Homo-oligomer: A and B are copies of this chain.
Amino acid sequence: MPSKNRLKYLASLSKKKQRKIEGKFIVEGVRALYEGLNSDYVCEEVFIDAEHFGKVNDLIELSETKGIPVTFVSGEEIKKIADTKSPQSVAALFRVKSNSNLSGGKFIVALDDVADPGNLGTIIRTCDWFGVENILISANSVDLFNPKVIRSTMGSIFHINFEIADDLSSKLNEIKSKGYKILAADMSGKSVKEAGKIESKVVLVLGSEAFGVSTEVKKTADYAVSIPGIGKAESLNVAVAGAILIYELFGGK
Q: Which of A157-206 contact B (CB under 8 A)?
A: 159, 191, 193
**For chain A, which range describes its interface: under 10, 10 to 19, 20 to 34, or 35 or more residues?**
35 or more
CA of A227 to CA of B235, assembled, Å: 23
Q: Are B234 and A251 in contact (CB under 8 A)?
A: no
| Contact partners of A126 in chain B: CB under 8 A | 233, 236-237, 240
| Contact partners of A152 in chain B: CB under 8 A | 237
CA of A227 to CA of B125, assembled, Å: 14
Min CB gap A36→B, angstroms: 13
> Digit string of A190-229 for contact with B (CB within 8 Å is 1, else 0)?
0101000000000000000000000000000000000111
CA of A170 to CA of B131, assembled, Å: 38
Q: Are A154 and B234 in contact (CB under 8 A)?
A: yes
Q: Are A231 and B122 in contact (CB under 8 A)?
A: no
Min CB gap A224→B, angstroms: 18
Is A118 part of the contact surface with B, judged by Cβ < 8 Å? Answer: yes
| Contact partners of A128 in chain B: CB under 8 A | 231-233
Copies in the complex: 2
CA of A82 to CA of B126, assembled, Å: 31
Is A156 part of the contact surface with B, judged by Cβ < 8 Å? Answer: yes
CA of A122 to CA of B233, assembled, Å: 11
CA of A193 to CA of B197, assembled, Å: 14
Q: Are B243 and A228 in contact (CB under 8 A)?
A: no
Min CB gap A246→B, angstroms: 9
| Contact partners of A155 in chain B: CB under 8 A | 233-234
Choice from B191, B230, B243, B253 contacting A130 with Cβ under 8 Å:
B230
Q: Are B244 and A159 in contact (CB under 8 A)?
A: no
Min CB gap A232→B, angstroms: 5
CA of A96 to CA of B5, assembled, Å: 47
| Contact partners of A227 in chain B: CB under 8 A | 129, 247, 251
Given A133-B231, A154-B234, A154-B237, 11 other A-B residues pairs in contact with their CB atoms under 8 A:
A122-B237, A122-B239, A122-B240, A129-B227, A129-B233, A129-B235, A154-B233, A155-B234, A159-B233, A227-B247, A240-B240
